[in-house]
Amino acid sequence: MSHKEIYEHFHPDEKAFVDRAWEWVERAAQRHETKRTDFLDPRQAHILFTLANRNPDVQVMLAGGSEQAERQRAIIAPDYKQLDDEDMGIVVLDISSEDRRVSDLDHGDYLGALLGLGIKRDKIGDLHVSDEGCHALITVDIGDFIVGHMKQAHRIDVNVTIRPLSALREVHMKLEEQVLSVASMRLDGVASDVFRLSRAKIVDPIKAGRCRVSWKPIEDPSHSLKAGDVVSMKGFGRFKVIEVEGVSKSGRIRVRVGKFV
108 within 8 A of 121, measured Cβ to Cβ: no
Query: What does the pLDDT look like over 199-253, one tens digit per residue?
Result: 989 999 999 999 999 989 999 999 999 999 999 998 899 999 999 999 988 999 9
156 within 8 A of 97, measured Cβ to Cβ: yes
Cα–Cα dist 161/221, whole Å: 44
Cα–Cα dist 261/90, whole Å: 26
171 within 8 A of 66, measured Cβ to Cβ: no
- Is 0.85 surpassed by the pTM of this model? no
CA within 13 Å, CB half, 232? 12
- Region 251-256: what's the mean pLDDT? 95
pLDDT at residue number 108: 87
Percent of the chain with pLDDT over 90: 85
Which DSSP symbol is given to 220? -
Q: Lay out the sheet containing 58-63: strands in order across.
A: 35-40, 72-78, 58-63
Query: What does the pLDDT look like over 65-113, one tens digit per residue?
Result: 998 899 999 999 999 999 988 999 999 999 999 999 999 998 889 999 9
Query: What does the pLDDT look like over 105-136, one tens digit per residue?
Result: 988 899 999 999 999 999 999 999 999 999 99
31 pLDDT tier (thresholds 50, 70, 90): very high
Cα–Cα dist 40/47, whole Å: 10
Cα–Cα dist 65/75, whole Å: 14
H or E element in which residue 52 lies? helix 42-52
- Region 45-65: what's the mean pLDDT? 95
11 pLDDT tier (thresholds 50, 70, 90): confident
pLDDT at residue number 190: 97
Q: Which domains does the chain have, with CATH numbers?
A: 3-78 (3.30.1370.160), 90-167 (3.30.70.330), 175-260 (3.10.290.10)
Q: DSSP of 100-145, one letter per residue?
A: GGGGG--HHHHHHHHHTTT--GGGEEEEEEETTEEEEEEEGGGHHH
209 within 8 A of 168, measured Cβ to Cβ: no
2 pLDDT tier (thresholds 50, 70, 90): low
SS3 97: coil
Q: DSSP of 221-260, one letter per residue?
A: TTPBP-TT-EEEETTTEEEEEEEEEEE-TTSPEEEEEEEE
